Amino acid sequence: MGATGTPISNSISEMYILLRYFIPNVLQQMKMSQFDDWASIFTKVESTLEIAPEGTGYRMRNRFCKFYNLPELMQVFSLFADVKLIEDLNIPRPAIHTGKPEVISIEPSEFVKQYILELAERAEKIRGGHVDPSKDNMLLVTTQGKSIAIDPRILFPEMEVGRESKIYAVCDRVKQLYDQYNEDKAFQIVFLDSGIQMYEMMRQDLVEQGIPSHEIAFIHNAKTDIQKTDLFEKCRKGDIRVLFGSTAKCGSGTNLQDRLIAIHHVDEHPGVPVT
């Protein structure tokens, strides 16, 4: 027996995992025990253009894009799944206020541009098999590319950085909204998963811009459930106006939306639920 609110949340292949877990005998009878056999019947693959991992160009990649033969697939799914919609459950939920994501782009510094070119050269050597994977690999390239795009000091702590850093762009936006909705004591969340050492630098910048230090909090300072409950209550009351957190610690199940005016994603795509 299993229960989930997100049976398929990241990949089409998750449907196959569910079938393999709950009705492997049916898959065997249908001669679809192997993923490739199942995928050839129930999924469609398309070639799409995507940004290369090093961020300097584009490349074609084959990706699962949608389900195929959906009525037949749902018949198989219904052999073990009892689907309940929101309308069937009558579960109390907080009010949902819809808004549109806003992408704020900034120009990279000359140092960042040069570093990205170096990453591109490393990526070409890796793809060509000219590098020992223990010395350099695409995971390292993409991680360093993500870090340098946020702030060079994640990789080079002693480096002096001007206001062109992404973290300062976020700080400026936070301060703008803080002032704009100050009378309502509006609350903001800043999500940052890579380079959490930037938390303190951003806090210092916000304090220098005029936000009181006691109105800024870090989710990782709340070590226990009691401390988290107290922190979230302060956010809902307007005592805390800016909260820094990671997706793991401040994502799903974080109940502090009462005064929430903005969610800032420094290094991730919008979509982190805050309930």
The per-residue pLDDT for range 15-36, each reduced to its tens digit, is 999 999 999 999 999 999 999 9
**Contact between 263 and 189 (Cβ < 8 Å):** yes
What confidence tier does 8 reach under pLDDT thresholds 50, 70, 90? confident
Q: DSSP letters along 30-92, please?
A: TT--SHHHHHHHHEEEEEEEEE-TTSSSEEEEEEEEEESSHHHHHHHHTTT-----HHHH---
Model pLDDT, residue 54 = 63
Looking at residue 89, its pLDDT comes to 79
Stretch 80-94: mean pLDDT: 79
Strand, coil or helix: 160: coil
Q: Compute how many other C-beta atoms are within 10 angstroms of the C-beta atom of residue 109.
A: 15
Q: How many CB atoms lie within 10 A of CB 265?
A: 18
Confidence band, pLDDT 50/70/90 cuts, at residue 189: very high
Which tops the pLDDT comparison, 61 or 121?
A: 121
Structure tokens at 64: 């699962």
Q: Kindly report the backbone phi and psi dihedral angles of residue 141, in degrees, each rounded to the nearest multiple of 5, phi listed first.
A: -60, -50
Q: Mean pLDDT in the chain?
A: 87
Domains assigned to the chain? 13-89 (no CATH), 110-161 (no CATH), 162-275 (3.40.50.300)
What's this model's pTM, rounded to 2 decimal places? Answer: 0.72
pLDDT at 272: 45
What does the pLDDT read at residue 274?
44
Q: How far is CA 183 from each of CA 176, 209, 273, rounded to the nearest angstrom?
A: 13, 18, 26
| Mean pLDDT of all residues in 179-205 | 92
Taking CB atoms within 8 Å and a gap of at least 24, the contacts of 126-135 are none
C-alpha triplet 88, 92, 95: angle, nearest 5°: 115
Which residues 6+ apart lie within 8 Å of 20 measured at CB?
A: 27, 33
Per residue in 150-165, pLDDT tens?
A: 999 999 998 988 888 8
Pairing of strands 242-245, 216-218: parallel
Residue 221 in tokens: 């300072």
Top-confidence residue, 271 or 9: 9
b (16+ CB within 10 A) / e for 24-61? eeebeeeebeeeeebbeebbeeeeeeeebbbbeeeeee
Exposure b/e, 235-254, CB count within 10 A at least 16 = b = bbeeebbbbbbbeebbbeeb
| Alpha helices in 90-165, H assignment, sequence order | 110-127, 138-150
pLDDT of residue 58: 63
Q: Tokens for 160?
A: 């002096």
Q: With 60 as the cut, is the pLDDT of residue 269 above it?
A: no
The mean per-residue pLDDT over the stretch 88-117 comes to: 81
Q: Are 229 and 202 in contact (CB under 8 A)?
A: no
Q: Which residue has the higher pLDDT, 268 or 74?
A: 74
Residue 54 backbone dihedrals phi, psi, to 5 degrees: -80, -5
